[in-house]
Structure 1
């Protein structure tokens, strides 16, 4: 992905991206954050957003909560269309591949996600949609 990257325009997310860059990837003490770049399913543009994550073996687990809204976040819809993504974790940036967690994986991982970000429990009750979990694995084994 060598095109221009367009940051999420939502003010608090854009601020989170800025803090991520200013702090070398550690904008919130005690919270594991990363930057996810997807290709826009409609525009074809590269889109970057900041997300919290938990680890599951080699995978980064992302939560498509959209703060409990009744629609999926754009980044989730984008990676469904094009699962090849870029992750930035700390100062390391690398290609990766994303896929929705299976129902069994989601059931197993949900407690760890809520333990890391308790607000996800409230988001889950705020919406009628199932909040998807996404597993993102580095394209090359052994990356970050």
Structure 2
């Protein structure tokens, strides 16, 4: 893992108020409140090390599963730039994940080629808005695979 020790008590949650509130409910209830998002989309918590700040930062993301791996999408709602967590994850692929009450370390990697296409379809099946997000941006929205270590 990173040379910056992980201390859950020092993790900084998303600066977006509604996301931060969602994360706190998720953590307090081990996902009983917060795992199922709008239309039942499943949510996990992803904690990444800041590439500049060296601070562990946590966000809530819709996820899918491909075998033993978890899959998330760096959509940022189709914005022209990647979300900050994605840049941090690329710089420091060793991450922490919480799915309901289960917490584990994982290694993140960006899917490419046929794997990305397959996983994109999986994720668009869970959250159809991803296709609309992709249509609104010139960047290829990254699909990230989280493999438990």
TM superposition score normalised by structure 1: 0.91
The equivalent of 1:116 in structure 2 is: 126
The equivalent of 1:53 in structure 2 is: 63
Which SS does the other structure have where 1:129 is aligned?
Answer: coil
Task: Give the superposition deviation at 1:24.
Answer: 2.4
Q: Which of residues 6, 21, 25 is equivalent to 2:12? A: 6
Q: Show the 5 A alignment for 1:47-86.
A: 47-86=57-96
The equivalent of 2:112 in structure 1 is: 102
Q: Could you report, residue by residue, the CA deviation over 1:59-84 in whole angstroms, capped at 9, with x for unpaired residues? A: 10110001110000111100100000
How far apart in 2 are the matches of 1:63 and 1:127?
Answer: 14
The equivalent of 2:142 in structure 1 is: 132
> Where does the alignment leave 5 or more consecutive residues of structure 1 unmatched?
140-144
User: 2:42 matched to 1:32?
Assistant: yes
Task: Give the superposition deviation at 1:22.
Answer: 4.2
How far apart in 2 are the matches of 1:129 and 1:12?
Answer: 26
> Where does the alignment leave 5 or more consecutive residues of structure 2 unmatched?
1-5
Stretch deviating more after TM superposition (25-34 or 43-52)? 25-34
Aligned residues: CA RMSD: 1.3
Q: Could you report, residue by residue, the CA deviation over 1:33-63 in whole angstroms, capped at 9, with x for unpaired residues? A: 1000000001000000000100001110110
The equivalent of 1:142 in structure 2 is: none
**Runs of 4+ that moved beyond 6 A:** none
